[in-house]
């Protein structure tokens, strides 16, 4: 059976061979430690800190709970400046903490929060900035830090897309006050579900670890109304194993991305992001942007065309978070003030990208995107 006889989704989780996982399961079955900072949990924290080049990391059940907890650790309140161009969990973490999101537009080059528009959105109630390194490309970190220093604001990076990315010679999660990661099944590195907070000092790590365990600061002391967001031993064991294959997976992703770039290069009205300088890539996503006037059909028409041919790209991130009914009423959700984000959300499609995707399928996807190519896979006229 050919790969394209089955649906091709935007991603497919990388999994180790089942045989490799069995000894880990055996160990869990033998020692009966299933969760609450067990041996695999401790081992994964140690290995990840080394691999990511960060001083302290705390594992979480998922990235969303890591975000919610990160805001609590820094006691962020009032208003927080953030981007509408992200997965909805970024803003939901504010909602769960009773914090008002203040949306600021993105910049065109990498689709990240535009630092030049942050200052105008600061009010006496602003306490933090919550930017996202979208698609794994770093925000303008120095500029954001300058603003945060001047106004006395905290910076929490949503680095959910950034596993293993280095910026200016260091792990990207070293920047800002805290960074959060996601290890969801759809991410470059997955523990099925999972996430983490990266911090700079031991005292903060301690507080994070209390908060993810109901607020317990010892057997009978509770320091805050913490939540239960602990990673369990099955997830941690999976992470240890996944880490062994990570480099090889990223290499495969790189080859696929290069193939996309090569095949899509000359197509009028189709653009993609360039590689930022001083930064390594984890090849997490491959977004393309459709300029309807130049391309000939709209992004949505292309999205449907791909779907009709069994290719399920995703419009990350459409609609903007600020368009969802819960957030639409906010003053900062005014589309007039979020023009670049609006335009980007209208133009984007993330194409399938995962280590086991064959280059043959990539070529077929590109052929479907190239409206001038004589397509073998569709009978549509255009």
Q: Which residue matches tokens 């990511």?
A: 52
Q: Give min distance, CB of 245 to ligand T4K, in A.
A: 17
Of residues 137 and 371, the one with the C-beta less far from ligand T4K: 137
Q: Are strands 100-103 and 348-351 parallel, antiparallel or unpaired?
A: unpaired
Site residue total, ligand T4K (CB under 6 A): 24
Q: Give min distance, CB of 37 to ligand T4K, in A.
A: 20
3 state SS of 56: strand
Contact between residue 159 and residue 179 where contact means Cβ atoms under 8 Å apart: yes
Segment interacting with ligand T4K (CB under 6 A) among 98-106, 114-122, 177-185, 268-276? 177-185
CA-to-CA distance for 179 and 275, rounded, in angstroms?
22
Q: Give min distance, CB of 175 to ligand T4K, in A.
A: 16
Q: Element (H or E) spanning 155, and its range?
A: strand 154-158
Q: Binding of ligand T4K at residue 11 (CB under 6 A)?
A: yes
Contact between residue 43 and residue 237 where contact means Cβ atoms under 8 Å apart: no
Residues 307-346 vs ligand T4K: string with x where CB under 6 A?
Answer: -----x-x-x------------------------------
Q: Binding of ligand T4K at residue 87 (CB under 6 A)?
A: yes
Q: Binding of ligand T4K at residue 184 (CB under 6 A)?
A: yes
Q: Binding of ligand T4K at residue 234 (CB under 6 A)?
A: no
* Residue 253 phi, psi (nearest 5): -60, -40
Select from 81, 89, 199, 270 the one that contacts ligand T4K (CB under 6 A).
Answer: 89
User: DSSP characters for 262-310?
Assistant: HHHTT-TTEEEPPPPTTB------EEEEE-HHHHSS-HHHHHHHHHHTT
Q: Give min distance, CB of 248 to ligand T4K, in A.
A: 19
Q: Binding of ligand T4K at residue 160 (CB under 6 A)?
A: yes
Residue 163's nearest CA partner among 253, 90, 272, 101 is 253
Q: Binding of ligand T4K at residue 361 (CB under 6 A)?
A: no
Q: Give min distance, CB of 373 to ligand T4K, in A.
A: 26
Of residues 133 and 154, the one with the C-beta less far from ligand T4K: 133
Q: Give the tokens for residue 328.
A: 């639409």
Select from 28, 38, 63, 263 the one that contacts ligand T4K (CB under 6 A).
Answer: 63
Segment interacting with ligand T4K (CB under 6 A) among 184-192, 223-231, 235-243, 321-329? 184-192
Burial of 39 (0-12, 13-18, 19+ CB in 10 A): middle
Q: Which of residues 98-157 bind ligand T4K (CB under 6 A)?
A: 132
Segment interacting with ligand T4K (CB under 6 A) among 69-77, 105-113, 178-186, 292-300? 178-186
Q: Binding of ligand T4K at residue 182 (CB under 6 A)?
A: yes
Judge if the upstream peptide bond of residue 317 is cis by omega within 30 degrees of 0. yes
Of residues 9 and 96, the one with the C-beta less far from ligand T4K: 9
CA-to-CA distance for 313 and 228, rounded, in angstroms?
34
Residues 215-242: b if buried by 16+ CB within 10 A, e if exposed: bbbeeeeeeeebbebbbbbbbbbbbbbb
Q: Give min distance, CB of 379 to ligand T4K, in A.
A: 25
Q: Give min distance, CB of 128 to ligand T4K, in A.
A: 16
Contact between residue 188 and residue 282 where contact means Cβ atoms under 8 Å apart: yes
Q: Give min distance, CB of 329 to ligand T4K, in A.
A: 23
The Cα-based distances of 270 to 52, 201, 266, 301, 348 in angstroms read 34, 44, 8, 14, 10
Residues that bind ligand T4K (CB under 6 A): 9-13, 62-64, 86-87, 89-90, 132, 158, 160-161, 182, 184-186, 195, 312, 314, 316
């Amino acid at each position: 059976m050919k790969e394209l006889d089955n649906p091709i989704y935007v991603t497919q989780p990388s999994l180790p061979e089942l045989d490799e996982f069995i000894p880990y399961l055996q160990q869990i079955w033998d020692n009966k430690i299933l969760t609450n900072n067990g041996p695999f949990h401790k081992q994964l924290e140690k290995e990840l800190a080394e691999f990511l080049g960060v001083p302290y990391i705390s594992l979480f059940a998922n990235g969303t709970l890591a975000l919610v907890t990160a805001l609590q650790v820094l006691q962020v309140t009032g208003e927080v400046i953030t981007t509408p161009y992200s997965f909805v969990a970024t803003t939901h973490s504010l909602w769960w903490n009773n914090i008002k999101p203040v949306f600021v537009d993105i910049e065109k080059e990498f689709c990240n929060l535009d630092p030049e528009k942050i200052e105008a959105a600061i009010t006496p109630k602003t306490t933090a900035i919550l930017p996202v390194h979208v698609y794994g490309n770093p925000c303008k970190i120095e500029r954001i830090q300058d603003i945060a220093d001047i106004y006395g604001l905290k910076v929490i990076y949503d680095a959910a897309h950034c596993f293993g990315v280095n910026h200016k010679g260091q792990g990207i999660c070293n920047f800002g006050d805290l960074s959060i990661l996601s290890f969801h099944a759809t991410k470059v590195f997955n523990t099925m579900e999972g996430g983490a907070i990266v911090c700079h000092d031991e005292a903060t790590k301690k507080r994070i670890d209390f908060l993810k365990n109901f607020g317990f600061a010892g057997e009978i002391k509770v320091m805050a109304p913490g939540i239960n967001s602990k990673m369990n031993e099955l997830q941690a064991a999976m992470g240890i194993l996944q880490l062994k294959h990570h480099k090889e997976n990223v290499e495969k992703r790189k080859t696929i991305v290069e193939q996309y770039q090569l095949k899509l290069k000359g197509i009028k009205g189709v653009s993609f992001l360039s590689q930022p300088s001083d930064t390594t890539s984890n090849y997490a996503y491959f977004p393309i942007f459709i300029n309807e006037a130049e391309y000939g059909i709209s992004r949505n028409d292309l999205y449907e065309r791909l779907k009709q041919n069994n290719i399920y790209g995703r419009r990350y991130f459409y609609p903007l978070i600020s368009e969802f009914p819960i957030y639409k009423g906010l003053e900062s959700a005014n589309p007039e003030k979020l023009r670049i984000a609006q335009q980007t959300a209208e133009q984007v499609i993330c194409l399938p990208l995962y280590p086991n995707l064959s280059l043959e399928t990539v070529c077929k996807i590109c052929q479907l995107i190239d409206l001038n190519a004589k397509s073998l896979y569709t009978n549509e006229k255009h």
